[in-house]
């Protein structure tokens, strides 16, 4: 299983939100590059970089941070937040993203995202399927839809998507474990899909459980920043 630390960006700073609430923000470092370099120095190979400013706006905002990290580390970066058009997608790739996560736009304009999968390849586009009470949430989790998360993922899997990041918003930032049941449901509905777990991962035992489930990757944020999990432990385990 691939370990993927997260850096969430607001105003160019490394932050974490609780349950996606922009009013419950903690700033961990004003220099995201320093954080990324510390990850790489510990042996981490991948990074999940989220433009929270972009997620609730109409375009990518923190692309310069992406460029800086991509040019000054060898981390494999998946980038999300603010991807609303092909121009945004190209900006992300041009500034060093290896993969781009499409969440809100995938819910609002599936035909557009499917065209990107066909043009750029299913290895370049990750489906963002973040949910609350089993329903897809969009725009930085500020808006709730009536779209069932499992149906949403299954439809995209049938149309060629190979990777999905799914966060149970109620678990995010709470440090009380991820939504194992959500990932079991996704696995049952979509065998062979590369599932990236996100939200609530708190302990090494959580990681071991996800490993035993044969989850493709695990995004870890607050538990690293709060010292609940040490990077050295993660690297040794995975």
| pLDDT value for 24 | 86
Q: How confident is the model at residue 70 (pLDDT cuts 50, 70, 90)?
A: very high
Residues 147-170, mean pLDDT to the nearest whole number: 96
Residues 179-196, mean pLDDT to the nearest whole number: 96
Listed range (95-104, 127-136, 137-146, 190-199) with the worst mean pLDDT: 137-146
DSSP state of 30: S
| pLDDT value for 22 | 86
| pLDDT value for 58 | 77
Burial pattern 154-186, b for ≥16 Cβ within 10 A else e, equals ebbbeeebbbbbbbbbebbbbeeebbbebbebb
| pLDDT value for 237 | 86
| pLDDT value for 98 | 98
Q: Where are the domains of the chain?
A: 2-237
Residues 109-115, mean pLDDT to the nearest whole number: 96
Asked if pLDDT for residue 20 goes beyond 90, the answer is no
Angle at 223 between CA 222 and CA 228, to 5 degrees: 150
Active-site residue list:
8, 130
Class in CATH terms, 2-237: alpha beta
């Amino acid at each position: 299983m691939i370990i993927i630390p997260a850096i969430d960006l607001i105003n160019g700073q490394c932050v974490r939100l609780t349950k996606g609430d922009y009013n419950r923000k903690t700033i961990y470092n004003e220099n995201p590059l320093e954080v990324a370099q510390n990850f790489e120095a510990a042996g981490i190979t991948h990074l999940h970089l989220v433009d929270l400013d972009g997620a609730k706006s109409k375009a990518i905002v923190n692309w310069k941070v992406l460029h800086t990290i991509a040019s000054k580390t060898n981390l494999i970066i998946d980038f999300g937040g603010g991807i609303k058009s092909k121009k945004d997608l190209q900006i992300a790739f041009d500034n060093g993203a290896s993969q781009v996560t499409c969440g809100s736009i995938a819910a609002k304009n599936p035909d557009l995202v499917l065209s990107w999968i066909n043009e750029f390849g299913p290895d370049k586009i990750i489906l963002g399927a973040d949910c609350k009470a089993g329903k897809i949430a969009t725009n930085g989790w500020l808006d709730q839809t009536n779209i069932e998360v499992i149906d949403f993922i299954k439809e995209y899997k049938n149309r060629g998507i190979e990777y999905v990041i799914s966060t149970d918003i109620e678990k995010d930032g709470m440090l009380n474990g991820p939504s194992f049941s959500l990932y079991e449901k996704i696995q049952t509905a979509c065998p062979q899909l590369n599932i990236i777990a996100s939200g609530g991962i708190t302990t090494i035992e959580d990681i071991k459980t996800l490993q035993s489930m044969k989850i493709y990757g695990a995004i870890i944020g607050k538990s690293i920043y709060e010292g609940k999990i040490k990077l050295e432990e993660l690297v040794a385990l995975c």
